Amino acid sequence: SAVISQKPSRDICQRGTSLTIQCQVDSQVTMMFWYRQQPGQSLTLIATANQGSEATYESGFVIDKFPISRPNLTFSTLTVSNMSPEDSSIYLCSGQRGYQETQYFGPGTRLLVL
Amino acid sequence: RKEVEQDPGPFNVPEGATVAFNCTYSNSASQSFFWYRQDCRKEPKLLMSVYSSGNEDGRFTAQLNRASQYISLLIRDSKLSDSATYLCVVNPSGAGSYQLTFGKGTKLSVIP
């Protein structure tokens, strides 16, 4: 398994500001992903964080709004830019070692935008 | 047809009962399958992988039916601590792909 931590665990932000969420894995993983989950809803994949190259975004998500970095095989950041109340959600990162293997999740970052 | 479909429930069962969840997937090329558990306000955690031959882990049994494209999870002797949302997870693109598709989850409440 992999142990994944996220910072911050929660935050309350003003609209128009940006928040960067950090994700740290205790061992190297091939793939890292960023998800969003509204209360009571399923996980929505935002993007795949690629080590050393630009992230791959899912339909409906763009780099200008959700810039992602992944400088190495154990760390990634997601920035939620120019926030609005609609961005209030739980943001989760995950890591996966190999294809057909499972993903391990961080504890999530609860974001409230006022 | 949605990629991964589950009955959202809720399933309200008494302690000690046996409960079964089913999940259907649309992509016949899918290669890997999992059940995750998500407690309220917590992250999803792997419960068990699902193998073609079926597998059992204590009170939990997972089955895969490739012909009908469904996965099942059976929980025997339900405990209060089993109360959670159970997510069906599929690798929809088969070999070489890392992405997983998550179902919306089935909520289970085990009642004293």
pLDDT digit string, tens, across residues B5-53 = 999 889 999 999 999 999 999 988 888 899 999 999 899 999 999 988 8
**DSSP SS3 for B4:** strand
B68 touching chain A per CB within 8 A: no
Task: Tell whether the model's pLDDT for residue B94 goes beyond 90.
Answer: no
Answer yes or no: are the C-beta atoms of A68 and A34 closer than 8 Å. yes
Structure tokens at A58: 């899912």
Chain B's closest residue to A39, CA to CA, is B41
Interface contact flag, A99 B95, Cβ < 8 Å: yes
A73 touching chain B per CB within 8 A: no
Interface contact flag, B95 A107, Cβ < 8 Å: no
Answer yes or no: are the C-beta atoms of B91 and B100 closer than 8 Å. yes
Tell me which residues of chain A, numbers 29 to 58, contact chain B at a CB-CB cutoff of 8 Å.
Answer: 30-31, 33, 41-43, 45, 48
Stated as kind and residue range, the H or E segment containing B49 is: strand B45-50
Choose among A20, A25, A9, A23: nearest CA to A90: A9
Name the minimum distance, in Å, from the CA of A14 to any CA of chain B.
23
Answer yes or no: are the C-beta atoms of B50 and B33 closer than 8 Å. yes
In the sheet where B70-75 sits, what is the strand order?
B4-6, B19-25, B70-75, B60-65, B55-57
Does residue A18 or residue A1 have the better pLDDT?
Answer: A18
Task: Tell whether the model's pLDDT for residue B2 goes beyond 90.
Answer: no
Interface contact flag, A106 B43, Cβ < 8 Å: yes
Answer yes or no: are the C-beta atoms of A64 and A74 closer than 8 Å. no
Residues A31-58: tens digit of each pLDDT: 999 999 998 888 999 999 988 889 999 9
Query: What secondary structure does DSSP assign to chain A, as a single string?
Result: ---EEEE-SEEEE-TT--EEEEEEESS--SEEEEEEE-TTS-EEEEEEE-TTS--EEPTT--TTTS-EEEEETTEEEEEE-S--GGG-EEEEEEEESSTTS-EEE---EEEEE-
Task: Tell whether the model's pLDDT for residue A24 goes beyond 60.
Answer: yes
Q: Are strands A56-57 and A75-80 parallel, antiparallel or unpaired?
A: unpaired
pLDDT band at B1 (very low <50, low <70, confident <90, very high): low
Task: Tell whether the model's pLDDT for residue B95 goes beyond 60.
Answer: no
Question: Which CA distances in Å does A40 have to A43, A103, B8, B37, B85?
Answer: 10, 20, 10, 14, 10
Task: Tell whether the model's pLDDT for residue B58 goes beyond 90.
Answer: yes
Interface contact flag, B32 A100, Cβ < 8 Å: yes
A–B CB contacts, 8 A cutoff, strictly below: 45
